Structure 1
Amino acid sequence: MATTGSNALHLTPEILAAAQGSKAWPFEEARKILKRYEGKDWPETILFETGYGPSGLPHIGTFGEVARTTMVRHAFRILTEDQVPTKLLCFSDDMDGMRKIPDNVPDRSALEPYLHMPLTVVPNPFGGDFTSFGDHNNAMLCRFLDAFRFDYEFASAAEYYKSGKLDAILKRVAERYDDIMAIMLPTLGEERRATYSPFLPISPKSGRVLYVPMKKVDAENATITFDDEDGEETTLSVTGGKVKLQWKPDFGARWAALGVDFEMFGKDHGPNMGVYDAICEALGGRAPEHFVYELFLDENGQKISKSKGNGLTIDEWLTYAPTESLALYMFQRPRQAKKLYFDVIPRAVDEYYQFLAAYPRQDWKERLGNPVWHIHDGNPPQVDLPVSFALLLNLVSASNAHDKAVLWGFISRHAEGVTPESHPELDRLVGYAIRYFDDFVKPSKVFRAPDEDERTALAALSERLGTLPAGADGEAIQNAALDVARGIERYQDHKKQSPTGGPGVSVTFFQMIYQVLIGQERGPRFGSFAALYGIDNTRALIDKALKGKLK
């Protein structure tokens, strides 16, 4: 995936005109920022921000924010003809207290003594070079962003608090404490209102983040007074990393302190958006432009959670598919809830290459609506992909191939001159297909025996394939299969019409083929599969099924 950095954009009048009228969502969001400064001078830098809570292992939904925000940033650069500097800040709330122990850490009991301590103090349960849980998860975030080659600046809340970068806004929170409380208290239950404070002191004795009421807030001296866990009255400065802000005030205060212009977040933050905005404005800032996206769900329709570890991880997706397919999944329908689990990967891969193949044929209006334009910062690569990922998966399934050489034997016979050297992108997909099949398709394969009608249909199909020349293409094979199905009452669809005027063919014919021959419920176009696998090999597969050797 390309990035939005300092590279010069090659803008033509056609691109600029198409951008002005583009209905692609990144352009629509970028226009909000244009309107934000309508009639005003541009600031030194337009600041895009994404937030990350490193309370658990990062999941793909977290990083979707970065991919999507980068797309809006690129659209903004186009609309301003790259005349306004921009920056993407990825802010990690690693000073947050560990309120519960994640389910997916190696030894949960080892972390129990560190409950409610800042994440940058909690020991790293995964071992390695990172000293704390927060540092480890921050590193995972950065590794992913670097793998995508994003142009970003990482920010650690712990570093910002301790270095004094937030001191000015923390003093302002103390000065406008009553204003902040007036915003927050109506949003809280009666019991919570009695003890609430936007300041969370860090106990100088236990090191824990404390949720305690304030006995005094001294704006002049920028201090707070409270009772520590042992009951001793304690006074701390609000500066220098001795306190942090509750998460809702933290949102608004950070926006005011840094001058954030754009931030997107998930639907679960939607009800609090007005609170964030009001706090930002109470502190003298201007709330950023927002984009609220729908949440990612696991295969059971449950919200993906960092602490539960449900759904896909970054490494899991990238083990079985190229990064561009993940970027496509992030681009498509961001305001629609989508399931994020292993079954979505093959379709995302093939859709990415379909969009890529369509791009050169499109005019600029269509191109700026094509996901690959946004994924690659306006410079999609040219890729020749003679075989789809779905076909590769079925080829692995039918051939039981476990190494690239076997698959390339089929591919090279099917497409003359196509080799791993001439088509490195296809070679990359071959490796992904083998891994995906071995881990997810093979364990769930269930071959079923054909009934008598199906045996008759398969025998007829094999006989018809035997009449075709060895080099018959996918279209010829598909037509031959259709001819066989039209002659069998069971597979005639009288609601459809064939090219010759007779009944069409029911989809159950091809479903039967894949269930019996491949052990799967569905597959790609049969003609394309048989052409790639080879007519003789396909007939041999049918023979095995009829003899019960597959089941």
Structure 2
Amino acid sequence: EKATVEYNCSEELKGAEGCGHHGSQPVGDGRSKFGWKVDWGSRWAVFGINYEMYGKDLIESAKLSKQITKILGGHPPVDMFYEMFLDESGRKISKSVGKGLTVENFTHWGTPESLNYLMFKNPRQQKKLSSETVVQYMDEVLKMTPEDPEYKYIYFAGSRPQVPIVYSDLINIVSAVGVTDIPVLKEFIIDVYGPGITKNWDYVEELLTPAINYYTDFILPQRSFPTLSPEENRLLDLFLDLISRETEAEALQTGTYAIARENGISPKDFFQLLYRVMLGKASGPRIGGFVAQMGADRIRNIIKQHRN
């Protein structure tokens, strides 16, 4: 005998009145659905689920679902709960009100491997999701080597070429050059890293595309270059003298601090001045490493381009 359910369209909801229709339909054949708590345990039993992850807020629901699975003659899966994902302010993310990042957002600015790492790294630790999160996890997965224990789980689809570039480097290069045209950026990147980078250019371009997306969505709208005072121009001249003398990252970093101290400006303010002139924003990479990587001539040209 086929179970059926009868229904009436007679209720009122938020000012809308039911049409009065009365009918019935079979329960089976995919025409009905349990409430979600019962549905979860039932799926475990019917589909023979072996492993299930869920958020910390569903621990009690998971306990109930395990009991339902046993009642239906099934075996509850091995399970593990993970901590909450938080927005920039430390509150639980909510897609319904537009808080946090979606998978589509994350993979627009990063690679699937960086998303893998976000999910697999320290699942019992709360994680904040923001645009900076993408940069952090992209850099971390690009620094991994096949010898790292996590590598085979993050790159389970196959190993990647080893390249001397991290994601934040590419974002800084795009910001410094100020263009999103890949052929133009390719010339610049080859100039910085040498012709050997062309051997793995297809992979570099896979990284460059999301870096351009990140620059377009987060940096370009806020990008602006300052109108410099005579004193700021004088400080820039001192910085240009420094990069003409020094080539090592640490010497450049130390020398930049020395310019600030010797001229009565806080190092923080001086670094912000350099970032705003070179990148069009108030923060950026470690100055010494950035200049050493880009080269004095390129830095000199970038400052000349943006200097009034």
TM over 0.5: yes
Matching residue's letter, 2:287: F
- Find the residue that maps to 1:245 and give its secondary structure: coil
**Counterpart in 1 of 2:285?**
524
Is 2:67 the partner of 1:278?
yes
Closer, same or farther: CA 274–398 of 1 in aligned 2, 3 Å: same
**Counterpart in 2 of 1:244?**
33
Match of 1:414 among 192, 195, 217: 192
Match of 2:58 among 258, 269, 273: 269
Report deviation, 1:350.
0.9
Matching residue's letter, 1:530: V
Is 2:8 the partner of 1:228?
yes
**Counterpart in 1 of 2:17?**
none
Q: Structure 1: how far apart are the matches of 2:140 and 2:275?
A: 22
Larger RCO (CA under 8 A, 6+ residues apart): 1
**Counterpart in 1 of 2:238?**
460
Report deviation, 1:441.
0.7
Alignment of 1:68-83 (within 5 A): none
Alignment of 1:366-377 (within 5 A): 367-368=148-149, 370=150, 372-377=151-156
Kept in 2, the 8 Å contact 1:296–1:304? The answer is no
Kept in 2, the 8 Å contact 1:223–1:235? The answer is no
Match of 1:402 among 166, 169, 180: 180
Q: Structure 2: how far apart are the matches of 1:406 and 1:242?
A: 57
Closer, same or farther: CA 480–408 of 1 in aligned 2, 3 Å: farther
Q: Structure 1: how far apart are the matches of 2:59 and 2:88?
A: 24
Match of 1:426 among 181, 199, 204: 204
Q: Structure 1: how far apart are the matches of 2:64 and 2:155?
A: 36
Closer, same or farther: CA 271–451 of 1 in aligned 2, 3 Å: farther
Q: Structure 2: how far apart are the matches of 1:277 and 1:539?
A: 65
**Counterpart in 1 of 2:94?**
304
Q: Structure 2: how far apart are the matches of 1:298 and 1:404?
A: 32
**Counterpart in 1 of 2:14?**
none
Closer, same or farther: CA 434–234 of 1 in aligned 2, 3 Å: closer
Closer, same or farther: CA 430–287 of 1 in aligned 2, 3 Å: closer
**Residues 248-305 of structure 1: CA deviation (Å, up to 9, x unaligned):** 1111122222332221122332232222122222223232222122333445635232
Between 1:237-246 and 1:343-352, the stretch displaced more is: 237-246
| Gap regions ≥5 residues in structure 2 | 11-19
Closer, same or farther: CA 507–276 of 1 in aligned 2, 3 Å: same
**Residues 344-367 of structure 1: CA deviation (Å, up to 9, x unaligned):** 22222111111x24x43xxxxxx3
**Residues 20-70 of structure 1: CA deviation (Å, up to 9, x unaligned):** xxxxxxxxxxxxxxxxxxxxxxxxxxxxxxxxxxxxxxxxxxxxxxxxxxx
> TM-score normalized by structure 1?
0.48
Kept in 2, the 8 Å contact 1:259–1:285? The answer is yes
Report deviation, 1:442.
0.7
Kept in 2, the 8 Å contact 1:249–1:279? The answer is yes
TM superposition outliers: structure 1 runs of 4+ over 6 Å? 231-235
Alignment of 1:17-96 (within 5 A): none
Closer, same or farther: CA 486–385 of 1 in aligned 2, 3 Å: farther
Kept in 2, the 8 Å contact 1:253–1:283? The answer is yes
- Find the residue that maps to 2:283 and give its secondary structure: coil
Report deviation, 1:510.
2.9
Report deviation, 1:232.
8.3
CA RMSD of aligned residues (A): 3.2
Q: Structure 2: how far apart are the matches of 1:315 and 1:266?
A: 20
Kept in 1, the 8 Å contact 2:161–2:200? The answer is no
Kept in 1, the 8 Å contact 2:5–2:26? The answer is no
Report deviation, 1:519.
2.4
Kept in 2, the 8 Å contact 1:317–1:326? The answer is yes
Report deviation, 1:518.
1.9
- Find the residue that maps to 2:54 and give its secondary structure: strand
Closer, same or farther: CA 271–511 of 1 in aligned 2, 3 Å: farther
**Counterpart in 1 of 2:15?**
none
Alignment of 1:452-531 (within 5 A): 454-468=232-246, 472=247, 474-475=249-250, 477-485=252-260, 487-491=262-266, 506=267, 509-531=270-292
**Counterpart in 2 of 1:156?**
none
Q: Structure 1: how far apart are the matches of 2:66 and 2:290?
A: 55
Is 2:65 the partner of 1:287?
no
**Counterpart in 1 of 2:213?**
435
> TM-score normalized by structure 2?
0.80
Report deviation, 1:424.
3.1
Select the structure of larger CA radius of gyration.
1
**Residues 78-101 of structure 1: CA deviation (Å, up to 9, x unaligned):** xxxxxxxxxxxxxxxxxxxxxxxx
| Gap regions ≥5 residues in structure 1 | 1-220, 361-366, 492-505
Report deviation, 1:237.
4.5
